[in-house]
């Protein structure tokens, strides 16, 4: 199988695209565990990026069952809920994750000295605290895994298991893309996985504290993220600063 790496020995963009298309076709009717195994085989230098949010424990548990030493990257924006920081440590210990890296921006004081950038420019705040630190952390890797799912928002409705990032050629893997909300709940129950404490308080999607609010029954699960704005993504799943809708051109 073709292996992907971001160095000069890795596949070209067209080769990566062919590999991704083949994997998506082959795994159409397969579950998340098969997607994970295929990802580890196709992209040996792959990391798992986790927010340790409302549903993150599912992918972390699945990945740990297949490869416990998978590199896990957690971005501490320094604006997270205290509950998230405690939960991150709890989950890492319970799942016996062997390779968790906590990353933070190293230039917040220079660009947001009074922690008010999110009030003036949410995109700039997300770029400073999340997108740019993650880009630096992912530089050594040929791919990364996310917990994104189709049901989470309209911008994710056509999400596939495997994607190729246009700007880096890096492979992005979404093992839970086709899971339904009930699948997530059932998996948590069956495996007795710990819940993020804010879920019980009405937070089905959890980001930074200043930009996350509870969600009412019947609302989109991500309605509480940047409420009353047109913003729906933090920028981590953007290319060159522009949102990429899965299956569509920029």
Is this model's pTM higher than 0.95 or not?
no
Choose between 241 and 159: higher pLDDT: 159
Residue 226: closest CA among 206, 199, 198? 206
pLDDT digits (tens, 9 = 90+) for 111-123: 999 999 999 998 8
In a domain, 90, yes or no: yes
In a domain, 146, yes or no: yes
pLDDT digits (tens, 9 = 90+) for 55-106: 999 999 999 999 999 999 999 999 999 999 999 999 999 999 999 999 999 9
88: its two tokens: 């991150």
Contacts of 139 (CB under 8 A, 6+ apart): 6
Contacts of 149 (CB under 8 A, 6+ apart): 55, 156, 159, 174, 176, 177, 178, 179, 184
Give the pLDDT confidence score for residue 152 in this predicted structure: 64
Give the pLDDT confidence score for residue 14 in this predicted structure: 82
In a domain, 250, yes or no: no
The answer to whether 214 touches 241, Cβ cutoff 8 Å, is: no
User: Domain range spanning residue 110?
Assistant: 13-243
Catalytic residue among 4, 126, 208, 234: 234
The answer to whether 214 touches 203, Cβ cutoff 8 Å, is: yes
In a domain, 84, yes or no: yes
234 catalytic? Reply is: yes
pLDDT digits (tens, 9 = 90+) for 219-230: 877 788 878 776
In a domain, 5, yes or no: no
Give the pLDDT confidence score for residue 125 in this predicted structure: 93
In a domain, 248, yes or no: no
The total of structural domains in the chain comes to 1
pLDDT digits (tens, 9 = 90+) for 6-22: 443 456 788 889 999 99
- Work out the average pLDDT over 178-185: 92
Give the pLDDT confidence score for residue 15 in this predicted structure: 86
What is the chain's length?
Answer: 250
Residue 60: closest CA among 125, 146, 159? 146
In a domain, 209, yes or no: yes
- At 183, which CATH number? 3.40.50.620
In a domain, 125, yes or no: yes
């Amino acid at each position: 199988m073709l292996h992907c790496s971001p160095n000069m020995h890795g596949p070209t963009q067209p080769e990566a695209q062919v590999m991704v298309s083949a994997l998506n076709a082959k795994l159409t009717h397969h579950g998340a565990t098969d997607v994970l195994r295929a990802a580890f085989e196709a992209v040996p230098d792959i990391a798992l990026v986790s927010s340790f949010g409302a549903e993150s424990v599912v992918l972390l548990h699945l990945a740990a069952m297949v490869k416990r030493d998978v590199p896990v990257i957690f971005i501490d924006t320094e604006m997270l809920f205290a509950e998230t920081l405690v939960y991150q440590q709890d989950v890492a210990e319970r799942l016996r994750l062997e390779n968790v890296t906590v990353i933070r921006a190293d230039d917040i004081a220079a660009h947001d000295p009074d922690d008010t950038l999110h009030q003036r420019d949410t995109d700039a705040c997300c770029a400073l605290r999340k997108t740019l630190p993650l880009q630096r952390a992912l530089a050594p890797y040929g791919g990364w895994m996310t917990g994104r799912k189709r049901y989470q928002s309209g911008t994710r409705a056509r999400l596939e298991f495997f994607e190729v990032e246009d700007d880096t050629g890096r492979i992005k893997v979404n093992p839970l893309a086709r899971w339904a909300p009930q699948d997530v709940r059932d998996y948590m129950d069956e495996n007795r996985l710990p819940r993020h404490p804010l879920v019980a308080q009405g937070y089905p999607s959890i980001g930074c504290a200043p930009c996350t609010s509870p969600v009412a029954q019947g609302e989109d699960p991500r309605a509480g993220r940047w409420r009353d704005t047109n913003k729906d993504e933090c920028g981590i799943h953007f290319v060159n600063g522009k949102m990429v809708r899965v299956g569509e051109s920029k």
